[in-house]
Amino acid sequence: MPEDTNGTETTNDNDTPTTTEATTFANFEDFLKAQADDVQKLYTEEVAGLKSALSSERQQRKDNEAALRDAAAKVEKGSEAEKLLTEQADTLQGLELRAAFYDEAHTQGVTNLKLAWMAAQEADAFDKRGNVSWESLRTQFPELFAKTTMIPSGDAGKGTKTTPAGDGKDMNTFIRASAGR
């Protein structure tokens, strides 16, 4: 069977040759735009369902937190029940804050989410609404963020049926020169 590599022929179930071409995309949106309409529709429906589920889960957490705070206000002030209910409401609020942080951290290029969460708490990088000061985190902890440097393209040359780029010096040349050839 023929190889399935960049730009070579392959066979499908009907033994009909097909051509595959390797295409690189800058991001997922570009990849999705290149797909057929039916694939785009399936993806859009799936994501809409997931976003809806996430939204309803978050709303349920907020409702539970409000219910706990309401119950804490109705019990006797300073009682053990009030302390426990308030504690539970604070825990729910913290979980929601952390989930929102993780969601946004992905878009900011954070490489270690848990470490970034701990750093944000340590640096007190949250405002009263729970929004994160990403610039503050980027300044204080630059190692938490992905590097945006471009990797230069390389060319191994030998064995890939292409000519190596550069000044013609390759490993074989260095070895031959060292051996006196």
Helix (H, G, I), strand (E, B) or coil at 138: helix
Residue 177: which pLDDT band, with cuts at 50, 70 and 90?
Answer: confident
Taking only the tens place, the pLDDT of each residue in 15-69 is 554 545 567 888 888 888 899 999 999 999 888 888 888 888 888 888 888 888 8
**Both structure tokens of 5:** 């590599």
Give the 3-state secondary structure of residue 132: strand
CB 76 within 8 A of CB 56: no
Q: Are 15 and 7 in contact (CB under 8 A)?
A: no
Helix (H), strand (E) at residue 9? strand 9-11
pLDDT digits (tens, 9 = 90+) for 109-128: 888 989 999 999 898 888 88
Domain ranges across the chain: 1-27, 35-108, 110-148
The pLDDT of 146-171, averaged and rounded, is 63
pTM score: 0.48
Name the token pair of 75. Answer: 């019990």
